[in-house]
A and B are shown apart, each in its own frame.
Chain A
């Protein structure tokens, strides 16, 4: 009896039990750099989401009397060669990045990558073998080249399809709204985004599928989808989160590269890549731009830079916090 009261007493002394995620959050919060990065990322994404509200000009509106101006109270970041307001265009460019990030990452990496990874890891056998071999073929290509090839060949086809749909259904503005561009970029990045995530999830599932609690669930006659999504998936969430946060910065960069090669979002719709491509005149002129009008190159580049840097810092911190072995 005595020992029981003693242990009761000890339990009283412990801090109140907290949920796993609250624990993670309180550990994450203590990393100052990661916290600042997360706040910065949120801020940048909010800028993009509220672009129509916080814009000071129209992103298309040119003003030929005020071209290549430096920063001023009228144009916070200055103006570009056509006299368009750089601040407004950066904000809209962030919106493009947000849309593409969500489109490619949520569809490609999360839904496709996670599902295929679960299936491959759980069923093993020939399904797994086929999926892995397909992935190996895809990852045999240098990333950027593959994205460029896919975008270059698919773009005209998808444009054609969209025009057909416009003609036959009478819906107009499908092509000019830019949806087609997002679709092309999303599809082009698909082979990139799913395989890494798939391999990660598969590796985890291969271990978990033989865990006792999964065997117990199976013995109780739980359906396979329920085992996969209710019993296995929650235990794979941590590495998924880490991998997503490392990947999100890369997506911003990939969009910039595609737009730089003229395969991304089409003008007049602004994107950070289009802005960089416009001032560097497809490469050669970037030195003179940086010397004479640095704000035109720096405004979009600093945003991309911050996104990549902050996502990496957040990813590192999450990796330490979520991965018990790293502690």
Chain B
């Protein structure tokens, strides 16, 4: 197991460096000369040339990449084209933090709805409730966020006045409920699907039958023998569910007027502010890679079968 963890830990920086190269390369493909964009339209040829040298744009690509990575390691993702001279990090980090909080809230929603419901559906296999849960979750999963989000606002904010319609007021506020639900419900549907499948697999195991035969109470068998073992494979899909929800959160943020990475990326696309866009993509990838790393290592610790292999 130690060898596995070490290998993962060694591979992660390489993976991130390759991801950074990809993003950097896409950035150089982007239209517009960074030197020209920084100096504005009235700059003379001469000044642009000086600026290009200063920025190192006349050096080989690999050298520029080295400079880029060096900057990233110091927390410097370059300078925004649109907001003249403001460092990308300063623009991006506060917004990204908002998005991260929103996604954590959504993950809590997804897990707390998805896992119990998936478990319940599996226990009710053979009755009408199992397919009813599966199909209704699939309907919710397929429902585009462009529809769920405004629908939730209309119902809970405009009609019932339970929560504010939009805005952002930190993690512990009423405003976070609706956006977290909008992102979390499709995530919950994914968890239901996997939790149901993995519970069904465990229910058929002999040790479950043995536990029942020993006369243990249903609660203990459900909780200790079935649910705990069924949860293990769920851990591995956590990472990719999170990635899917992050994509959804970009749109949800726009609908709810949350000042997160979604609004920023939309602005960056329209203003052709590529340093901001590339930094956002790279940070998104970095968070995802680290989340998966933590999950995989946690998995080896939680599941002794993997540890022994």
Q: Are B142 and A249 in contact (CB under 8 A)?
A: yes
Taking CB as reference atom, which chain B residue is nearest A136? B15
Q: How many residues of B contact A (CB 8 A)?
A: 53
Q: Does A219 contact B (CB under 8 A)?
A: no
Q: Are A144 and B247 in contact (CB under 8 A)?
A: yes
Q: Tell me the interface secondary structure of chain B in the complex.
A: helix
> A215–B295 Cα gap in the complex (Å)?
39
Residue-wise interface mask of A (262-294) relative to B, using a CB-CB cutoff of 8 A (1 in contact, 0 not): 110000000000001000101110110111000
- Give the Cβ gap from A151 to chain B, nearest Cβ, in Å: 9
Q: Are A284 and B257 in contact (CB under 8 A)?
A: yes
Q: Are A289 and B150 in contact (CB under 8 A)?
A: yes
Q: Are A142 and B265 in contact (CB under 8 A)?
A: no
Q: Does A152 contact B (CB under 8 A)?
A: yes
- Give the Cβ gap from B227 to chain A, nearest Cβ, in Å: 23
B residues 230-251 in Cβ contact with A at 8 Å: 243-244, 246-248, 250-251
Taking CB as reference atom, which chain A residue is nearest B245? A142
Taking CB as reference atom, which chain A residue is nearest B248? A144
> A312–B190 Cα gap in the complex (Å)?
12
> A312–B203 Cα gap in the complex (Å)?
25
Q: Are B265 and A145 in contact (CB under 8 A)?
A: yes
Q: Are A286 and B149 in contact (CB under 8 A)?
A: yes
Q: Does B5 contact A (CB under 8 A)?
A: no
Residue-wise interface mask of B (131-163) relative to A, using a CB-CB cutoff of 8 A (1 in contact, 0 not): 000010011011110110111011000100000
Taking CB as reference atom, which chain B residue is nearest A280? B146
Q: Does B165 contact A (CB under 8 A)?
A: yes
Taking CB as reference atom, which chain B residue is nearest A191? B22
**Which one, A80-88, A197-205, A303-311, is touching chain B?**
A303-311
Residues of chain B lying within 8 A (CB to CB) of residue A280: 146, 150, 255
Residues of chain A lying within 8 A (CB to CB) of residue B284: 141-142, 145
- Give the Cβ gap from A19 to chain B, nearest Cβ, in Å: 30
Q: Are B243 and A152 in contact (CB under 8 A)?
A: no
Q: Are B154 and A290 in contact (CB under 8 A)?
A: yes
A residues 116-167 in Cβ contact with B at 8 Å: 133, 136-138, 140-146, 148-150, 152-154, 156-157, 160
Q: Does A47 contact B (CB under 8 A)?
A: no
- How many A-B residue pairs lie within 8 Å, measured between CB atoms? 140
Which of B139, B141, B150, B243 is the one whose CB lies under 8 Å from A286? B150
Taking CB as reference atom, which chain B residue is nearest A141? B285
Q: Are A260 and B154 in contact (CB under 8 A)?
A: no
Q: Does A94 contact B (CB under 8 A)?
A: no
Q: Are B144 and A142 in contact (CB under 8 A)?
A: no
- Give the Cβ gap from A292 to chain B, nearest Cβ, in Å: 11
Q: Are A153 and B274 in contact (CB under 8 A)?
A: yes
Q: A153-B30, A157-B29 are in contact. Are A287 and B288 (CB under 8 A)?
A: no
Residues of chain A lying within 8 A (CB to CB) of residue B289: 140
**Which one, B34-42, B106-114, B116-124, B275-283, is touching chain A?**
B275-283
Q: Are B18 and A137 in contact (CB under 8 A)?
A: yes
- Give the Cβ gap from A255 to chain B, nearest Cβ, in Å: 12
Q: Are B153 and A263 in contact (CB under 8 A)?
A: no
Q: Are B22 and A137 in contact (CB under 8 A)?
A: yes
Q: Does B26 contact A (CB under 8 A)?
A: yes
- Give the Cβ gap from A93 to chain B, nearest Cβ, in Å: 13
Q: Does A110 contact B (CB under 8 A)?
A: no
> A253–B146 Cα gap in the complex (Å)?
11
Q: A156-B31, A312-B142 are in contact. Are A283 and B269 (CB under 8 A)?
A: no
User: Could you show 17 A-B contacts with beta carbons less than 8 Å apart?
Assistant: A141-B285, A141-B288, A142-B246, A142-B284, A143-B247, A148-B277, A153-B26, A153-B30, A261-B266, A283-B266, A286-B149, A287-B158, A290-B147, A290-B150, A297-B146, A305-B144, A309-B139
